[in-house]
Every structure is written in C-alpha cells, then in structure tokens.
C-alpha cells in the first residue's frame, strides 16, 4: 500500500461517523454524569441545590429536577462525586430511560 492509499483510507474513515445515529425519540433531561461533571466535590447539599437545582436529569421513571431528587436525600454533605451519584441513584433508581 502506498502512502497516498493510506492517506485516502484515513480520509474516508474520518468522513464516515464511527456510529450511525438513528432517528430516535429524544429523551428529556441530561444524564446524571453530565450534571455531576459540572460540580467539584466536596460539596454541601445546599450548594448543589444552589448551583444545579433547576437542572433536569433523566431517570427510569421520567425526567426530574435536582431539587426534587435532593428533597428525598437525607445526606447534607458529599465528599466525592461517587457519594453524590450513589445517593441520587438510590432515589431515582437505575435502568433504561423511557422516551417520550
């Protein structure tokens, strides 16, 4: 294979998406990981509420705001993002996310 062939092959690979995206139904809300990534731990529950309370996250039972989820969590201080995520998942559950 010549260098030109290798370059053309790379160009073709870059032109096509690695994964084809289908015509799926949109899902309301953001993934929990996206919201958590915007926070820097350790944080108090009240600070998370102040920063992200209005954010809507995806849950298996439908979209919920961080405010709604935090109301069901007794923990007031999260040392790590894993602690926060774990407590949130205890409230919202895990599993497939429903579409509209």
42-97 pLDDT per residue, tens: 999 999 999 999 999 999 999 999 999 999 999 999 999 999 999 999 999 998 88
- The total domain count for the chain is 1
In 3D space, the residue among 66, 70, 58, 64 whose CA is nearest the CA of residue 95 turns out to be: 58
Q: CA-CA-CA-CA torsion for 22, 27, 78, 68, nearest 10 degrees?
A: -170
Tens-place pLDDT, residues 68-80:
999 999 999 999 9
Has residue 18 been placed in a domain? no
Q: Using CA of residue 83, residue 86, residue 91, residue 97, what is the dihedral sign?
A: positive
Has residue 95 been placed in a domain? yes
Has residue 38 been placed in a domain? yes
pLDDT score at 25: 74
Q: How many helices (H) and strands (E) does the chain have?
A: 5, 4
Has residue 17 been placed in a domain? no
pLDDT score at 23: 73
Has residue 67 been placed in a domain? yes
Has residue 97 been placed in a domain? yes
Has residue 12 been placed in a domain? no
Alpha carbons 21 and 89: distance in angstroms, whole number: 28
Which of 2-11, 27-36, 80-89 is most confident? 80-89
Range of the domain at 40: 28-100
């Amino acid at each position: 294979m010549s260098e030109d062939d290798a370059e053309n092959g790379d160009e073709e690979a870059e032109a096509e998406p690695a994964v084809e995206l289908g015509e799926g139904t949109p899902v309301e809300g953001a993934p929990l990981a996206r919201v958590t990534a915007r926070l820097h731990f350790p944080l108090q529950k009240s600070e998370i509420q102040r920063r992200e309370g209005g954010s809507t996250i995806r849950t298996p039972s439908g979209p919920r705001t961080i405010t709604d989820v935090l109301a069901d969590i007794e923990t007031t201080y999260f040392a790590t993002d894993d602690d926060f995520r774990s407590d949130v998942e205890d409230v919202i559950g895990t599993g497939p996310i429903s579409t509209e």
